Structure 1
Amino acid sequence: MPTGSLQNAEDLLKAAKKASKKSWFSNPEWEIAGQYYEKAGENQRAFDSFVQSAEAYNKVSLIYFSAKSHESAGKIAEKKLSDYKAASEHYQMASDLYLATGNMPDRAAELMNDAGRVTASFDVERAVQLYLNSLSIYETENRGRFGINSFKSITGFLAKNKKYDTAVEVMMRLAKQCIKLNNKQELNRTYLTVIILLLAKNDDIEAFKQLDQFSQDMSFLKSQEYEAADGALKAYKDFDQGMLDEALKNSVFYELNSEIQNTVYSLTVPGFSRNVLGVDSNDFRKSITTKIQKEHDENVKEGNDQTDYTNDDMLL
């Protein structure tokens, strides 16, 4: 490390230690100390300082500054210390405090979402609850328009973890927000996503019921999303995988969340299987037989070709 950098780091540490000391005339300035420690690369000390800062601010009811310190502690825990449990805890505390200020609901929702994101690495069930809490903030604070992307990304997370019932519930909650905001385009995508999730859950009966219900909305009935959903359900009705594969080529599916797209391309009609040999068939045993017979025929053909080649050489 260059001499100048070492000197700079030492200066930062001195400043941090000075800020964290109590004197006759002042209390420790933990937040400032945390900033100095962070700049000096002393991540654990920075984390500890921000935690102490949050506690100190909370004691004198400086809620906003306490929230800010918890947020800083959470970021260091996540990005510098890789302590995701601590990061989750401080993001949650920051969220609660920002919400308590009465004028920062969006930041509160975002940090609750961050808590869910880091928690997902070690506790999926807890992450789901935190994610749902973040959506509740948008709803109860009448900030639905700012939470649309969160609704969609959380649905993708739920679909990835095959929690289809909860994913459908989240999409129905988003549908209410879209109706309130008169956001027809997003509402149509939401309806289509519900149909996809129900099919992924193997509940095509409920999917038909919901499509019939959604079709009461003339805007949806005339949309590409309706056409895509209807095409998929017709394939399910006829147990026709080829028809479903064609229906899923509709470009409207590319406009959905990436995890929902993955769900789309994994759909199969009842009784159909995509087995490990790469053969598609309604009858798994038949697919294996077909695969083996095909390989046998190819081997026989190669053997005949080789024999013909050898005979030609002998004639020469």
Structure 2
Amino acid sequence: MAALDEARLKDAIKFMHEADKNTEKSWFKKPDWDIAAQYYEKAAQSFKAGKSYEQSVQAFIKASDAMINAHSLFMAGRALENGANVCLQNLGQPERAADMYKRASELFIQNMTPDRAAEMLEKGAKAMEPISVDSAIDFYVNACNIYENEERAKYATDTYKRTINLLVRNRRFEKATEILLRLGNVQSEAANKSAYFKTLLSIVIIQLAAGDEVEAGKKFQEFCGIDGFVRSEESAVAHAMLDAFEHGDQNYYNQAAARQHVGFLDNEIARLARNIVISNDLISEGGYVNPSGPGGNGQFSQPGPGGPGRPSGGPYADNRNKNNNGGNFNNSGYQQPPSQQYPGPAPPYQQYQGQAPPQPQFGQYQEKPMPPEPKGHNAAPRAHLQDERSESDWRALTGAPAGPTPAP
């Protein structure tokens, strides 16, 4: 095995010498950059096969420079990509690899191949994720910018989603909302309503996770103006989540987050939605508070049977403070207006104002006339006590066994 590697290294050195010869300039000869680039690339592959990775990277860089001089920008970018792969996979140098990916992206842009340029930036982002999240985010955002600038954003859906997942995973909610809005614009232009509504629901979830319930409500109201969103399942889920936040009901929120359409979202956003915990710091003052709850600390009550966010009965029925004498409000400042006099007979409830009502007179019996007895077909036989049958007679007629004999 060592002999094979040594042979490959010897071949690589020969290729390097041939490539250097073709880059020299003399009185009667110009540099042949095409031939030199081919030899450099062969040398790079031989160095890689011989496990001399640093020399392989250097050979790829020289091959890229030769291809640039030969006005072959696409091949120059591909050579840098190969060198970056060696840096990342064999040398374990992600920063150096990301820099080479970025240079390759610039070459692909000059060659008018934006898809490949964005792909290089995505590779650079993946290389930088373990060591620098900010750099990785910059790579991803620049890749999205390339697609948008070249009017190829409809092909960048996966790039947008990878960017959003990284931002959500690192709790960069503001930037994630910005990228989601950009993705939503792309989906709206493509008339992909199903994906568009999922993106809108994701925005509401991220705002709730960021603790900005007010902004989440504003976004939801704005999205309700979009054609078809109000009738969608995503709208129902977002409305239920906002109601749960308004009432401080964690159980109701968990039920909304467990719905099927939340599982249809991207993994990071679905996981984020199911890990949101409602706390008093995140709840606005518009929730329904029960001041008479345990300890009098203003615990939030369960939604009423009228539906989420529609209190009816129970704790929502009446949260007003009452004094010990009746149903008057404490410190309400309300005063009974003076009664007004109206012409004509007073209504029943005003006849005895200011005086005691008449007391009923007991001990005087007033006989009421009995109604006439019905005659004809309406007449019914009148029952008499002597006509009633005894229990023994009924048992004899029905054949039922006699009851137990009472003890003497």
Shorter-chain TM range is: 0.7 to 0.9
Cα distance in 2 for residues equivalent to 1:235 and 1:99: 49
Counterparts in 2 of 1:148 and 1:42: CA distance versus 1, 3 Å: same
Note if 1:168 corresponds to 2:177: yes
| Structure 1 residues not aligned, in runs of 5+ | 274-282, 287-316
- Secondary structure of the 1:175 match is helix
| Structure 2 residues not aligned, in runs of 5+ | 24-35, 283-293, 298-408
User: 17, 20, 29: which is aligned to 2:16?
Assistant: 20
Cα distance in 2 for residues equivalent to 1:66 and 1:9: 27
Between structure 1 and structure 2, the one with the greater Rg is 2
* Greater CA drift, 124-133 or 24-33: 24-33
Structure having the larger proportion of residues in helix:
1
Matched residue, 2:41 = 31
Q: Which structure 2 residues correspond to residues 128-277 of structure 1 after superposition, within 5 A?
A: 128-271=137-280
Matched residue, 2:403 = none
Cα distance in 2 for residues equivalent to 1:12 and 1:89: 28
The residue identity in structure 2 corresponding to 1:50 is F
TM-score normalised by length of structure 1: 0.80
Cα distance in 2 for residues equivalent to 1:152 and 1:24: 45
Larger RCO (CA within 8 A; separation ≥ 6): 1
Do 2:258 and 2:274's aligned partners in 1 also have CA atoms closer than 8 Å? Answer: no
The residue identity in structure 1 corresponding to 2:275 is S
- Secondary structure of the 2:171 match is coil
Cα distance in 2 for residues equivalent to 1:272 and 1:114: 40
Number of residue equivalences: 270
Counterparts in 2 of 1:25 and 1:89: CA distance versus 1, 3 Å: closer
Cα distance in 2 for residues equivalent to 1:86 and 1:17: 24
Matched residue, 2:56 = 46
Do 2:88 and 2:97's aligned partners in 1 also have CA atoms closer than 8 Å? Answer: yes
TM-score normalised by length of structure 2: 0.63
The residue identity in structure 2 corresponding to 1:184 is K
The residue identity in structure 1 corresponding to 2:12 is A
Q: Tell me by how many angstroms 1:258 deviates.
A: 1.7
Do 1:153 and 1:257's aligned partners in 2 also have CA atoms closer than 8 Å? Answer: no
Q: Tell me by how many angstroms 1:22 deviates.
A: 3.6
Cα distance in 2 for residues equivalent to 1:24 and 1:145: 45
- Secondary structure of the 1:221 match is coil
- Secondary structure of the 2:228 match is helix
Q: Tell me by how many angstroms 1:7 deviates.
A: 4.7
The residue identity in structure 2 corresponding to 1:20 is M
Do 1:241 and 1:272's aligned partners in 2 also have CA atoms closer than 8 Å? Answer: no
* Greater CA drift, 180-189 or 114-123: 114-123
Cα distance in 2 for residues equivalent to 1:272 and 1:258: 27
Cα distance in 2 for residues equivalent to 1:54 and 1:44: 16
Cα distance in 2 for residues equivalent to 1:23 and 1:215: 65
Q: Tell me by how many angstroms 1:228 deviates.
A: 1.5
